[in-house]
């Protein structure tokens, strides 16, 4: 009896990444960057596939809560410094830093008085390793391993308070005191607004799936379908609550269940039309966070800390694509579109420093969405159904629009290898 064996013997060289330490993006933190949508899986028994993709991108812009392009760290709107101390427990008026907060909070509101607009630059490099192993009857297993280097730096802020006229304004003594003591206030509450960096593993995904390939259809060249489900393991670093602009590394410590489907049909010996749908369901988690203590507060900077239960909303993904297969010898081109949406998280404080309503309506936990255009070229060195088929690719992912997301366009390259050997 013949044995079927699949082997992958690959050595890859990947860029050497700078030595820093910031959060991860991976394939899951969609509000910072967006990877291409997947295709259906071949059903050949005992096929082994290895793919390595490299992506790089940077941006200084975001899409805010109204869908307008704004400064990177202004995606949640202006930071309300006037209300920074509102509702914070144990403010001590005998301490200069707290007295400054109390005095500022007591002032009247006017236009953008007491508001900061923060700017920054986000950069990412990611290598994604994708291993798939087919079994018999269409079943397969998959492991996704992202390796990430990303940073948020060049952080500055602009005072948006009115220049003059009716008080309060930029010249109000209470505001001038706050500006003078801002760094000391952050230090007292163990906060900083320094650059954030991370290098290391992103959240690892493990999946099982089933795929169906029909090449005997009279009207179509083929009809393929793939369903897949799996688990997201939060091995990446969580956001440091003391670093104001440290964003979630992957799923920020939440385990998640991922399920998806892909359908593709072929026609005219060269055209493929595909659709993709998926859902990422996060499990809730208790953790100590920086929490909002007033409905007036907005932005990344919060003084109060509290234990809370975080229940993240489901992330939904939809995509579709057109692919010209081997339109120039073995060169293929794919044009794709994806829409990703996440609902509102629920934050339930375990103490009375805040309420579920106030904490959950923090803009950081509110819904976001993104639309992305994907362009991809791929060259196959082997023929269809070949036992040994290497391939290389190039891609560009352009953010069309969104809400509460970084506007990070990604360039990428890829190398893949399919092996199905019989001994």
Domains of the chain: 19-422 (2.40.160.40)
Neighbours of 112 (CB within 10 A): 15
Residue 423's Cβ-count burial label (10 Å; 0-12, 13-18, 19+) is exposed
Q: What is the pLDDT of residue 166?
A: 87
Q: For residues 114 and 167, what is the distance between their CA atoms, to the nearest angstrom?
A: 12
Q: What is the pLDDT of residue 32?
A: 65
- Say if pTM beats, i.e. exceeds, 0.75: yes
Q: For residues 423 and 66, what is the distance between their CA atoms, to the nearest angstrom?
A: 60
Q: For residues 104 and 108, what is the distance between their CA atoms, to the nearest angstrom?
A: 9
Residue 149's Cβ-count burial label (10 Å; 0-12, 13-18, 19+) is buried
Q: What angle do CA 362, 35, 368 make, to 5 degrees?
A: 20
Q: What is the pLDDT of residue 217?
A: 78
Half-sphere exposure of 393 (CA within 13 A, CB side): 26
Alpha carbon 281 to chain centroid, angstroms = 15
Q: What is the pLDDT of residue 28?
A: 39
Strand partners, 153: 121
Q: What is the pLDDT of residue 9?
A: 28
Q: Is the peptide bond before 168 cis (omega within 30 degrees of 0)?
A: yes
Q: What is the pLDDT of residue 22?
A: 26
Q: DSSP string of 302-326?
A: ---EEEEEEEPPPEEEEEEEEEEEE
- CA–CA distance from 60 to each of 230, 243, 407, 408 (Å)? 34, 19, 8, 8
Measure CA of the first residue to CA of the last residue in the chain; give whole Å. 10
Instruction: Report residue 146: phi and psi, to 5°.
Output: -90, 140
Contact status, residue 324 vs residue 332, Cβ threshold 8 Å: yes
Consecutive 10-residue averages of pLDDT for the chain (423 residues) = 33 27 34 72 92 94 95 95 95 96 94 96 94 94 93 96 90 96 97 92 94 88 95 89 86 92 94 96 95 94 96 95 94 96 95 94 94 95 81 95 94 92 56
Q: DSSP string of 176-219?
A: HHHHHHHHHHHHHTT-B---EEEEEE--EEEEEEEEEEE---SS
């Amino acid at each position: 009896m013949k044995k079927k064996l699949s082997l992958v013997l690959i050595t890859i060289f990947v860029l050497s990444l700078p030595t820093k330490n910031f959060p991860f993006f991976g394939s899951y933190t969609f509000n910072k960057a967006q990877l291409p949508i997947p295709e259906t899986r071949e059903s050949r028994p005992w096929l082994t596939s290895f793919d390595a993709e490299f992506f790089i991108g940077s941006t200084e812009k975001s899409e805010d809560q109204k869908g307008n392009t704004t400064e990177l760290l202004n995606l949640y709107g202006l930071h309300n410094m006037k209300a920074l101390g509102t509702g914070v427990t144990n403010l001590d008026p005998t301490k200069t830093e707290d007295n400054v907060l109390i005095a500022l909070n007591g002032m009247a509101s006017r236009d953008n008085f007491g508001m900061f607009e923060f700017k920054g630059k986000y950069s990412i490099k990611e290598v994604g390793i994708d291993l798939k192993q087919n079994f018999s009857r269409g079943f397969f297993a998959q492991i996704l391993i992202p390796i990430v280097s990303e940073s948020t730096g060049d952080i500055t802020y602009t005072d948006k308070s009115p220049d003059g006229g009716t008080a309060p304004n930029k010249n109000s003594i209470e505001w001038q005191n706050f500006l003078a003591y801002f760094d000391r206030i952050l230090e007292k509450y163990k906060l900083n607004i320094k650059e954030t960096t991370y290098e290391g593993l992103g959240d690892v995904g493990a999946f099982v799936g089933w795929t169906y390939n029909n090449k005997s259809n009279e009207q179509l060249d083929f009809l393929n379908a793939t369903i897949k489900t799996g688990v997201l393991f939060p091995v990446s670093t969580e956001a440091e609550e003391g670093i104001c602009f440290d964003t979630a590394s992957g799923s920020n410590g939440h385990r998640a269940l991922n399920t998806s489907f892909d359908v593709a049909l072929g026609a005219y010996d060269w055209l493929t039309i595909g659709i993709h749908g998926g859902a990422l369901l996060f499990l809730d988690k208790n953790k100590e966070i920086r929490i909002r203590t007033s409905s007036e507060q907005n932005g990344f900077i919060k003084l109060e800390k509290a234990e809370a239960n975080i229940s993240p909303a489901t992330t939904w993904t939809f995509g579709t694509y057109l692919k010209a297969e081997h339109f120039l010898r073995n060169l293929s081109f794919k044009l794709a579109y994806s829409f990703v949406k996440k609902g509102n998280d629920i934050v339930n404080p375990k103490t009375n420093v805040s309420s579920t309503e106030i904490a959950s309506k923090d803009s950081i936990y509110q819904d976001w969405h993104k639309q992305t255009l994907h362009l991809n070229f791929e060259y196959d060195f082997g023929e269809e159904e070949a036992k040994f088929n290497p391939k290389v690719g190039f891609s560009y992912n352009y953010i069309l629009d969104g809400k509460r997301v970084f506007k990070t366009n990604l360039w990428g390259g890829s190398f893949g290898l399919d092996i199905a050997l019989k001994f």
